[in-house]
Amino acid sequence: MAATIVRFVLNGRPTEVMVRPLMTLQTVLREVLGYTATKAGCKQGGCGSCTVLVNGEPMVSCLLPVEDVADQEVTTLEGLTPAEGLHPLQQAFFENFATQCGYCTPGMIMIAKALLDRNPHPDRAAIIEALSGQYCRCTGYEPIIRAVEDAAHRLNGGRP
Amino acid sequence: MTVQSYYLPRSLAEATALLAEHGPSLLVMAGGTVVMPLINEGISTPQKVMGLRRVGLNYVRHEEGALIIGATTPLTRLLEPDVIPMLREAARHTATWSIRNMGTVGGNLFVPPPAGDLAVALLALDAEVKLVRVGGERTVPLSAFWTGFMQTVVAADELVAEIRVPKPGGRTAFRKFGRKQANTPAIVTIAVHLIMADRRVQEARIALGAVGPHPLRARQAEAALTGQPLDTATIAAVAELAAAECEPFTDAIASDWYRRRMVKVQLGRVLTAFLAEG
* 3-state SS track over A60-93: EHHHCEHHHHCCCEEECHHHHCCCCCCCHHHHHH
* Test the B interface: residue of A59, A67, A110, A111 with most B CBs within 10 Å: A59
Distance, in angstroms, between A136 CA and closest chain B CA?
A: 14
Chains A and B: how many Cβ contacts under 8 Å? Answer: 90
**Largest distance between two CA atoms of chain B:** 62
| DSSP three-state, residue B249 | coil
Residues B91-100 have pLDDT tens digits of: 999 999 999 9
pLDDT-derived band of residue A159, with 50, 70 and 90 as boundaries?
confident
- Sign of dihedral through CA atoms B26, B28, B32, B34? negative
Taking contacts as CB-CB distances below 8 angstroms, the residues of chain B near A132 are 96-97, 181-183
| Number of alpha helices (DSSP H) and beta strands (DSSP E) in chain B | 8, 14
* Contact at CB, A65 and B182, closer than 8 angstroms: no
CB B246 within 8 A of CB B218: yes
8-state DSSP, B74: B
- Sign of dihedral through CA atoms B212, B216, B218, B223? negative
Phi-psi region of B27 (alpha: psi -120 to 50; beta: other; left: phi over 0): beta
Taking contacts as CB-CB distances below 8 angstroms, the residues of chain B near A63 are 31-33, 36-37, 40, 102
Q: pLDDT at position A140, please?
A: 94
d(CA A38, CA A48) in angstroms, rounded, equals 10
Q: pLDDT at position B181, please?
A: 86
Distance, in angstroms, between A20 CA and closest chain B CA?
A: 8
Residues A99-126 have pLDDT tens digits of: 999 999 999 999 999 999 999 999 999 9
| DSSP three-state, residue B199 | coil
Q: Is B33 on the interface with A (CB under 8 A)?
A: yes
8-state DSSP, B94: S
Collect the ranges in chain B with pLDDT lower than 50: none
d(CA A21, CA B48) in angstroms, rounded, equals 9
CA distances (Å), A114 to each of A24, A111, A130, B269, in order? 21, 5, 9, 36
CB A25 within 8 A of CB A65: yes
Question: What's the order of all strands across the beta sheet hosting A51-54?
Answer: A13-19, A4-10, A73-75, A51-54, A57-60
CA distances (Å), B221 to each of B102, B133, B200, B269, in order? 35, 37, 15, 15
Q: Which of B6, B53, B99 sits opposite A45 (nearest CB)?
A: B99
Taking contacts as CB-CB distances below 8 angstroms, the residues of chain B near A54 are 101
CB A78 within 8 A of CB A34: no
Residue of A nearest to B48 (CA): A21
8-state DSSP, B134: T
8-state DSSP, B112: P
Phi, psi of A40 (to 5 degrees): -115, 95
Q: Give the residues across from B51 on adjacent strands.
A: B29
Residues B166-202 have pLDDT tens digits of: 999 999 999 999 998 888 999 999 999 999 999 999 9
* Test the A interface: residue of B3, B7, B98 with most A CBs within 10 Å: B98
* Contact at CB, B54 and A68, closer than 8 angstroms: yes
Q: Which of A20, A114, A132 sits opposite B96 (nearest CB)?
A: A132
Say what the pTM is. 0.96
Judged against a pLDDT cut of 80, whether residue A1 lies above it is answered with: no
Q: Give the residues across from A47 on adjacent strands.
A: none
* 3-state SS track over chain A: CCCEEEEEEECCEEEEEEECCCCEHHHHHHHHCCCCCCCCCCCCCCCCCCEEEECCEEEEHHHCEHHHHCCCEEECHHHHCCCCCCCHHHHHHHHCCCCCCCCCHHHHHHHHHHHHHHCCCCCHHHHHHHHCCCCCCCCCCHHHHHHHHHHHHHHCCCCC
Query: In chain B, positions 84-103, which contact chain A (CB-CB < 8 Å)?
Result: 95-99, 101-102
Q: pLDDT at position B278, please?
A: 63
Q: pLDDT at position B2, please?
A: 79
Q: Amino acid identity of B158? A: E
Those residues with Cβ within 8 angstroms of residue A83's Cβ, 6 or more apart along the chain or in another chain? none
Distance, in angstroms, between B133 CA and closest chain A CA?
A: 23
Q: pLDDT at position B121, please?
A: 98
d(CA A52, CA A38) in angstroms, rounded, equals 7
Taking contacts as CB-CB distances below 8 angstroms, the residues of chain B near A111 are 97-98
| DSSP three-state, residue B273 | helix
Mean pLDDT taken over chain A: 96
Q: pLDDT at position B205, please?
A: 98
B51 closest CA partner among B112, B107, B129, B115 = B107
CB A27 within 8 A of CB A52: no
* Contact at CB, B97 and A114, closer than 8 angstroms: yes
* Contact at CB, B97 and A111, closer than 8 angstroms: yes
Residues B205-237 have pLDDT tens digits of: 999 999 999 999 999 999 999 999 999 999 999
Q: pLDDT at position B223, please?
A: 98
* Contact at CB, A45 and B5, closer than 8 angstroms: no
ipTM of the complex: 0.96
d(CA A48, CA B98) in angstroms, rounded, equals 8
Distance, in angstroms, between B42 CA and closest chain A CA?
A: 11
Taking contacts as CB-CB distances below 8 angstroms, the residues of chain B near A46 are 37
Mean pLDDT taken over chain B: 96
Give the pairing type, strands B128-133 and B66-70: unpaired
Judged against a pLDDT cut of 70, whether residue A86 lies above it is answered with: yes
